[in-house]
Structure formats: C-alpha cells, structure tokens
Chains A and B, each alone.
Chain A
C-alpha cells in the first residue's frame, strides 16, 4: 500500500506542476485548483508512504516520478523537446525507481 501511495504522490506532483504552468498561462480559478489539489494530495500521500518506507528512498522516488512524469507530460501534451538525452534521463529514473522497489 505504501508503494502505491508513493506512486500516487508522484502523480499528484505532476498535477501540481501542470497547474503551475497553467497559472502562468491562463491565471484562472481552474489553474489554481489544479495546483492546490495536486500539491496537497501529493504531500498527504507522500507522508503516508514515508511512515513505512525509508525516507531517503521515498523522497528520491517521489521527486523522480514528479520530474520524469512532468517531462513526459511536457513532451506528450505541451510540445516540449523530445531530445534523446531527456528520454534517457526518464528511463534512468524509471529503472532506478523499479530497482529500489525490488531491493526493498
């Protein structure tokens, strides 16, 4: 359950980042809602996950999913660069996160 919660925390972080980008672009209520809901639920899920997981591992994976997920969303939906080095970095984050889950 804590691993699911950690993964969901990373996804909500992506929601928060999308909200932050929309605040810059649209600056409407929906953008602030996305941002608020994203970060609040992200931290709630993270704190639940960290109660049973080692904090260094949980923190690293949370940041990793948030960053790699944000980059993926940017590449798929917001026309960001598909530079092969970015794809390599996303792959490294995912492989490392899965590896951390496997050795825990």
Chain B
C-alpha cells in the first residue's frame, strides 16, 4: 500500500472528527480541535492528491467520510437507524462518486499530463 493511501485513511479520520465537532463542540477548546482537524484533513487530501488522480482521491475520501459520519452518529450518538435514510444517502453518494470518477474536462487534462 503506498503512502498516499495512508494519508487518505488518516485524513478521513480527521474528516469525521471535524464533522462530529461541527455538531457537538460546546467550548472553545473543542472548537479549536475541530478547526485543527479540518485543516489537517484538507492538508492530507492535498498531499495525497499530489501522487494520485484527484478524482479518485476525492471519491474515496467522500465515500469513506460519509460512511464514517453516518456510522458514528448511529453508533456513538444514538441517532435512530432509518433504512430509507441510509438508502437515500447511498444513492446521493453514488452520484457524487460517479461525478468524481467520470470527471469533466479537468480529468481529461489530468490524463494528458
């Protein structure tokens, strides 16, 4: 497994951390940790994109980020499990990942380089 994929996996953990912070942070220290997680997750996705195609990195990142967030709210924060909601989130995610992988002109330009 190459190093860029490790950056992506660590980045996804920070991604889930800032999303949880946006919902649950209650004091200045928690907000500071939230903003730090946000910056770290962006930094990791940028350095991962230096070696891997941006569309692929973003698709994996959003996919894992969304799955992680939905799991965290059900497992850690007792959000009710609604099958219809999970199906709709899966459909939305399929659309986002499709757009990132099919790409527009930028994907074609990337391939030329």
A93 in contact with B96 (CB, 8 Å) = yes
B92 in contact with A55 (CB, 8 Å) = no
B70 in contact with A60 (CB, 8 Å) = yes
Closest residue of chain A to B62 (Cβ to Cβ) is: A63
A92 in contact with B95 (CB, 8 Å) = yes
Closest residue of chain A to B94 (Cβ to Cβ) is: A92
Interface size on B, residues (CB 8 A): 35
Smallest beta-carbon distance A24→chain B, Å: 9
Return chain A residues, CB-CB under 8 Å to B99. Answer: 67-68, 71, 86, 89-90, 93
Q: Range of interface residues on chain A? A: 35 or more
B82 at the interface (CB under 8 A from A): yes
B19 at the interface (CB under 8 A from A): yes
Please measure, in the bound complex, the distance between the C-alpha atom of A90 and the C-alpha atom of B94, giving whole angstroms: 10
Please measure, in the bound complex, the distance between the C-alpha atom of A56 and the C-alpha atom of B92, giving whole angstroms: 12
| Chain A window 55-98, contacts with chain B (Cβ cutoff 8 Å), 1 for yes, 0 for no | 11111110110011001001100111101011011111101110
Please measure, in the bound complex, the distance between the C-alpha atom of A86 and the C-alpha atom of B91, giving whole angstroms: 14
B2 at the interface (CB under 8 A from A): no
Among A80, A93, A104, the residue within 8 A (CB) of B106 is: A80
Instruction: Specify which of A55, A68, A78, A80 lies most central, judged by the most chain B CB atoms within 10 Å of its CB.
Output: A55
| Chain B window 19-54, contacts with chain A (Cβ cutoff 8 Å), 1 for yes, 0 for no | 110110000000000000010000000000000000
Please measure, in the bound complex, the distance between the C-alpha atom of A96 and the C-alpha atom of B38, giving whole angstroms: 26
Smallest beta-carbon distance A2→chain B, Å: 12
- Residues on B lying within 8 angstroms of A by beta carbon are 19-20, 22-23, 38, 62, 65-66, 69-70, 72-74, 77, 79, 82, 84-85, 88-89, 91-96, 98-100, 102-106, 108
What 7 A-B pairs come out closest when comparing CB atoms?
A80-B104, A56-B70, A92-B95, A96-B92, A93-B95, A89-B98, A89-B95
